[in-house]
């Protein structure tokens, strides 16, 4: 790459991985899973095209059937899915890349039509989100959830453990536990959705307990240097808020430091949008409090990413939408080449159009 001076093109040692650059592909939900909710040959091609990213974080992938909240998202709980993901990880590795799988349970952000047996989605508490999802018929309000019983939580933790083991069997270099964007683990963390009166609700310590147990199980199963976590401390996405996020997320960092996971991946502001939604929140306290690597996300462009790395505000930068439309984003940044525009109409669902047909720069 020609742009040797840019901090984006300095290598980075992330656990056992040598990343050739600091450009991370953010997890992107594309709703194109095939039979058995397994990734298809098109997904193999899509990720292969993007293997020049320093690290790919593959799309949110449900750990078990009731973890699904949107149409045609992939899973990592069946052998068919593990086999199909192997083709993806093989393609990325053959192209010289690294790839992490994001482990997902949507909790209350789901609809009965996507749930096993048409049952209510599970959540920390029976509090319905004012949010929508999309199902076979189009956009719909999410369903009323039921509260998980305390005695169902050990199985949930085991299902995360199993998913982490499956991800490694499928050839992923690491997993990212999705504890952001208003999904299940975030619903336990933030008091806007957690009204529990057992050991998993109420105090900050109690609300962080499930994330701690899930991270501990994954770290034990595949090693802490193969487990990252995504957080969105102030994002109002999916109708989730917390009354006092600073001490909550500083406690999350303390708990994580006790487990020494690979990285935290932090959505700074409102998911996919306003970085200034909570101007008083101190992301630096998370960045500097956490002992592992820090991946920053939300509205970064090349110049802003370089400034953040230079200032020590982040180790790696995750780019989402630019990677949808630019399979060769790393090369374009290195050459300061123009970017393709994204077509929002082909983001979710469909086939090759808007997925594998965005052009790379001509060689030369
Ligand atoms: C967009 C559409 C559906 C899901 C997230 C997994 O926000 C998602 C997601 C994004 O983390």
Residues of the chain above pLDDT 70, percent = 99
Chain-centroid distance, C-alpha 8: 21
Between 344 and 363, residue with greater pLDDT: 344
Q: Which atom of ligand 1 is nearest to the CA of 70?
A: 3
Which among 353, 308, 344, 234 has a CA at the least distance from the CA of 6?
308
Largest CA distance in the chain: 63
What are the tokens at 238? 């999916």
Q: Residue 362: which residues within 8 A CB-CB, separation 6 or more?
A: none
Q: How far apart are CA 164 and CA 12, in angstroms?
A: 24
H helices of 264-355, where?
283-289, 302-310, 321-325, 329-335
pTM: 0.98
In terms of residues, how long is the chain?
364
DSSP state, residue 260: -
What are the strands, taking DSSP E only, across 189-330? 227-231, 263-267, 293-297, 316-319
Between 65 and 273, residue with greater pLDDT: 65
Q: Which atom of ligand 1 is nearest to the CA of 104?
A: 6
Tens digit of each residue's pLDDT (9 = 90 or more) over 304-322: 999 999 999 999 999 999 9
Q: Given 47, 70, 160, 183, which residue is catalytic? A: 183
Sort 28 into a burial class: Cβ within 10 Å, 0-12 / 13-18 / 19+: buried
Q: Is 200 a catalytic residue?
A: no
Query: What average pLDDT does the chain have?
Result: 97
Tens digit of each residue's pLDDT (9 = 90 or more) over 222-265: 999 999 999 999 999 999 999 999 999 999 999 999 999 999 99
Residues of the chain above pLDDT 90, percent = 98
Q: Which atom of ligand 1 is nearest to the CA of 31?
A: 3
Q: How far apart are CA 134 and CA 91, in angstroms?
A: 30
The residue whose CA has the least distance to atom 3 of ligand 1 is 29
Alpha-carbon separation of residue 116 from 69, 177, 187, 332 (angstroms): 11, 23, 21, 44
In the predicted structure, residue 363 carries a pLDDT above the cut 90: no
Q: How far apart are CA 252 and CA 234, in angstroms?
A: 14
pLDDT score for 273 = 83
Around ligand 1, the residues with Cβ closer than 6 Å are 29, 60, 70, 181, 271
Tens digit of each residue's pLDDT (9 = 90 or more) over 107-160: 999 999 999 999 999 999 999 999 999 999 999 999 999 999 999 999 999 999
Distance 178 CA to ligand 1 centre (A): 10
Q: How far apart are CA 251 and CA 253, in angstroms?
A: 5
Pocket test for ligand 1, best of 25, 32, 59, 60 (most atoms within 8 A of CB): 60
Chain-centroid distance, C-alpha 34: 20
Q: Could you tell me the pLDDT band of residue 191, with boundaries at 50, 70 and 90?
A: very high
Q: How far apart are CA 73 and CA 348, in angstroms?
A: 10
| Domains defined along the chain, listed by start | 10-317 (3.20.20.70)
pLDDT score for 3 = 54
Number of Cβ within a 10 Å radius of residue 342: 17
pLDDT score for 364 = 66
Q: Which atom of ligand 1 is nearest to the CA of 237?
A: 7
Sort 61 into a burial class: Cβ within 10 Å, 0-12 / 13-18 / 19+: buried
Distance 110 CA to ligand 1 centre (A): 12
> Helix 79-94 and helix 41-49: axis angle, to 10°?
30
Distance 185 CA to ligand 1 centre (A): 14
């Amino acid at each position: 790459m020609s742009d040797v001076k840019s901090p984006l093109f300095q290598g980075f040692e992330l656990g056992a991985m040598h990343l050739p650059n600091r450009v991370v592909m953010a997890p992107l939900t594309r709703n194109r899973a095939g039979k058995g909710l397994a990734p298809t040959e098109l997904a193999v091609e899509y990720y292969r095209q993007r293997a020049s990213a320093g690290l790919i974080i593959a799309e949110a992938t449900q750990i078990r059937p009731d973890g699904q909240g949107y149409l045609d998202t992939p899973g990592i709980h069946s052998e068919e899915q593990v086999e199909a993901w192997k083709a993806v990880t093989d393609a990325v590795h053959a192209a010289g890349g690294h790839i992490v799988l994001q482990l997902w349970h949507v909790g209350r952000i789901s609809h009965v039509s996507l749930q096993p047996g048409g049952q209510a989605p599970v959540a920390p508490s029976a509090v319905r989100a004012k949010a929508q999802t999309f199902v076979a018929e189009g956009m719909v309000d999410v369903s009323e959830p039921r509260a998980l019983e305390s005695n169902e939580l050990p199985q949930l933790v085991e299902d995360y453990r199993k998913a982490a083991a499956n991800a490694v069997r499928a050839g992923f270099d690491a997993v990212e536990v999705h504890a952001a964007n208003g999904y299940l683990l975030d619903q336990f963390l933030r008091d806007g959705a957690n009204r529990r009166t057992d050991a998993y609700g109420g105090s900050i310590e109690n609300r962080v307990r499930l994330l701690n147990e899930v991270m501990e199980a994954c770290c034990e199963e595949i090693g802490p240097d193969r487990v990252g976590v995504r957080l969105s401390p102030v994002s109002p996405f999916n109708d989730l808020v917390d009354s006092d996020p600073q001490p909550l997320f500083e406690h999350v960092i303390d708990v994580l430091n006790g487990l020494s996971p690979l990285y935290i991946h932090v959505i700074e502001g409102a998911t996919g949008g306003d970085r200034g939604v909570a101007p008083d929140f101190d992301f630096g306290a998370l960045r500097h409090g956490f002992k592992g690597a820090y991946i920053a996300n939300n509205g970064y462009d090349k110049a802003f990413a370089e400034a953040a790395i230079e200032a020590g505000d982040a180790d790696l930068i995750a780019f989402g939408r630019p990677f949808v439309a630019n399979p060769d984003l790393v090369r374009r940044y290195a050459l300061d080449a123009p970017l393709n525009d994204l077509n929002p109409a082909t983001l979710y669902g469909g086939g090759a159009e808007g997925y594998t047909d965005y052009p790379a720069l001509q060689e030369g």
